[in-house]
Amino acid sequence: MDKKKVKDYMTYDVVSVDFHGTVHDVIEKIQKTHHDGFPVVDGTTVIGYISARDLLFVDPSTPVEKVMSDNLIVADPEMDINDAARVIFRSGIQKLPVVDEKNHLLGIISNSDVIRSQIEHVSPEKVFNFMTTLKKLYNVDPTLDRGTVPVKDLLPTQSKIYEDELEGRIYEIKKGLAEPIIVVRRPGKIILVDGHHRAVAAKRLGISALDAYIIEIKENIELGMERTALAMNLKTLDDVQVLDYARHPLVAITHRLVKRV
């Protein structure tokens, strides 16, 4: 995670507004783009930021420079993504313009981009804890390697994934940012332990191999997760069901909480 920079996750195609424009121009851009705020530029130089809330009770003919915020918080493209996260969440600002040393607009980094950078982070502890579990359950001595595994040969052990997370993994793979998956390789099998969204995303993109932490077991024993996969009728990644975000359990919990209020 420490190697991930703002430039890896920022949006390069930024919609901005000219400081010579009016509030009416900003309203039109909000309606067209559905964005809730824009960097204000003079040519390519960022001089302010204007959001939808700045337009409340303001006459549409008012110049942008009269209502924009010129107290700018910006990000550098080489900034660590974790540092950008701290700035965004401590300041309460949803989006930071990304600029170079001359304040030229390069992109924008949002709280959604920061959240995406943190999801499905594979830690060494996660891998070694699983290896410890294998030792205790099966009395084996697994070894760990780092390499690539064929996507088509992966045996899934999770029957459902979510469309919104899948889109995030597709985005990361396209940018070369995806974390390694975790697999167990035993004679004749490559069992997918962690990274089902990444694996399905790779398959959709036509990628034949994925970077992986490979836990190697020499013994030809059937693991419990294999039996679970068989019970769920899982043989290939095509058997994994992709659910719409609306069916995500977190959404259901939120809806229940809202009804109680």
3-state SS record for 115-156: HHHHCCCCCHHHHHHHHHHHHHHHCCCCEEEEEEEEHHHEEC
130-186 confidence digits (pLDDT tens): 999 999 999 999 999 999 999 999 999 999 998 878 888 898 888 887 789 999 999
Q: Torsion angle of alpha carbons 205, 188, 158, 177, nearest 10°?
A: -40
The overall average pLDDT reported for the chain is: 87
Name the strand (E) or helix (H) holding 173.
helix 163-174
* Token reading at 11: 């949006």
Quick one: pLDDT at residue 1? 41
Centre a 10 Å sphere on the Cβ of residue 90 and count the other Cβ atoms it contains.
Answer: 8
The phi, psi pair for 105, rounded to 5°, reads -70, 125
Q: Are the CB atoms for 169 and 203 separated by under 8 Å?
A: no
Position 120 confidence tier, pLDDT thresholds 50, 70, 90:
low
Q: Do 195 and 179 touch, CB atoms closer than 8 A?
A: yes
Report residue 76's pLDDT band, with 50, 70 and 90 as the boundaries: very high
Q: What is the dihedral of CA 161, 198, 234, 206, to 10 degrees?
A: 120
CA-wise closest residue to 154 among 206, 205, 195:
195
- Residue of higher predicted confidence among 17 and 125: 17
